[in-house]
Amino acid sequence: MTHGRYERRGPRPVRRLWVVLLAAGLLAAGCAGGGAGAQEEDAQAEREAPAGDVSPVAEVARRIEPSVVQVNVSSIQTSPYGPQEAQGLGSGVVYREDGYVITNNHVVEGADTVNVAFADGSVEKGEVVGGDPYTDIAVVKVDRVNLPAAEFADSGDLVVGQLAVAAGSPSGFQSTVTSGIISGLNREIPPEITGGSQQSALVDLIQTDAAISPGSSGGALVDRTGSVIGINVAYLPPAQTGAVNLGFAIPSATATDVADAIIEDGRAEHPYVGVSLIDLTPEIARRFDVSVESGAIVTGVDPDGPASDAGIEPGGVVTAVEGEKITSTGDLLAALRRHDPGDSVELTVAREGEAREFTVELEGKG
């Protein structure tokens, strides 16, 4: 980045190869039902809206606006011309009234200075408490109390078709609100899309057609009550995908769990199996004469990791976790994240036409 340039911290365009792979993954992914019921709820909300043509979205915007902030960052980077200042921005959500703000890890990673701009026009210096590259969640602390903390809803109760409102600072336009619906659940995207440093794909994401743009990263995705159901993290550029309004958010349950761990310990710990994985597709299965058509292929095993201790070897295909069917690496990661380090989980692994059960004691990794 060049001196004085203000970079909007948001998802970077993804190369076409990743777009093709991602598109295939999305077509194969399941989504929850209930769209008709959610649409009826939206209609009911419209009928019950206050007088004066105030729409449900306007009421949601009024409730969430004080809790959404702009996160301005800067860093000193080396270049052939010497040290240069790089600047960027993203969004955040006030998590606790005693000064804690949730944002995306890719917004604040590598930042030397962080400033948080509130909806009331005030600005406070922020300190990065910690960040988690696996989930792309980070926590920033400001020296201020009595902040307008947002209410976080249970993201496990979401249904496709329900109202979704995104709030953030796209392109630096603070307190911008867009609306749409939840378009899908349990989505997966590779790390290249966020521009972050996480090693694995982001999984269990909420898909929405509410517009999410560069600078929206770290902002709020909220429901009809104004409660946060997700933290905005990425979008797919229409110029590369040929599709519009493909935005993604990290579920609130994941965001708050990770934020709590960061606030308490400075880091989040995740269950570690000790395997390298790729998706098994029907094409790969036919090419290599694999006995199953979907799952997560074990391409490598950490010799000192729990999978090795359990007897899992490269070449097997993980098809289930605790009896829950696994069709991709994203499914496996999502299933494992529902467990804690120290838990024992049963993995079903297919190899040479046979399925075997392996009990793996998860380790922690942060």
Point out the domain boundary residue: 265, 298, 318.
265
Judged by phi (left if over 0) then psi (alpha if -120 to 50, else beta), residue 346 lies in beta
**Does residue 244 sit within a domain?**
yes
Burial class (CB in 10 A: 0-12, 13-18, 19+), 99: buried
Instruction: Supply the DSSP symbol for 20.
Output: H
User: Residue 215's closest CA among 40, 92, 357?
Assistant: 92
Q: pLDDT value at position 9?
A: 54
Domain end position, chosen among 87, 109, 142: 142
The range of the structural domain enclosing residue 293 comes to 270-365
Claim to verify: residue 261 and residue 170 sit in the same structural domain: yes
- Looking at residue 241, its pLDDT comes to 73
Q: What count of other Cβ atoms lies within 10 Å of the Cβ of residue 228? A: 27
Same domain, 160 and 60: yes
Residue 47 and residue 159 share a domain: yes
Burial class (CB in 10 A: 0-12, 13-18, 19+), 262: buried
Quote the pLDDT of residue 194: 52
Distance CA 82, CA 41 (A): 58
- Give residue 349's pLDDT: 95
Q: What is the pTM of this model?
A: 0.75
Distance, in Å, from the CA atom of 100 to the CA atom of 253, rounded to the nearest integer, reads: 17
* Pairwise CA distance, residues 169 & 333, whole Å: 30
3-state secondary structure of 294: coil
- Whether 197 is covered by a domain: the verdict is yes
Residue 2 covered by a domain: no
* 5 falls within a domain: no
Give a yes or no: residue 333 inside a domain.
Answer: yes
Q: Which of the 8 DSSP states describes residue 59? A: H
Which residues belong to the active site? 106, 136, 217
Residues 54 and 158 in one domain: yes
Same domain, 106 and 182: no
Whether 260 and 154 share a structural domain? yes
Mean pLDDT (10-residue bins), the chain, 366 residues = 45 29 27 39 45 78 97 88 87 98 96 96 97 94 98 92 97 94 89 54 90 94 97 88 88 94 93 88 81 88 94 93 89 86 94 91 86
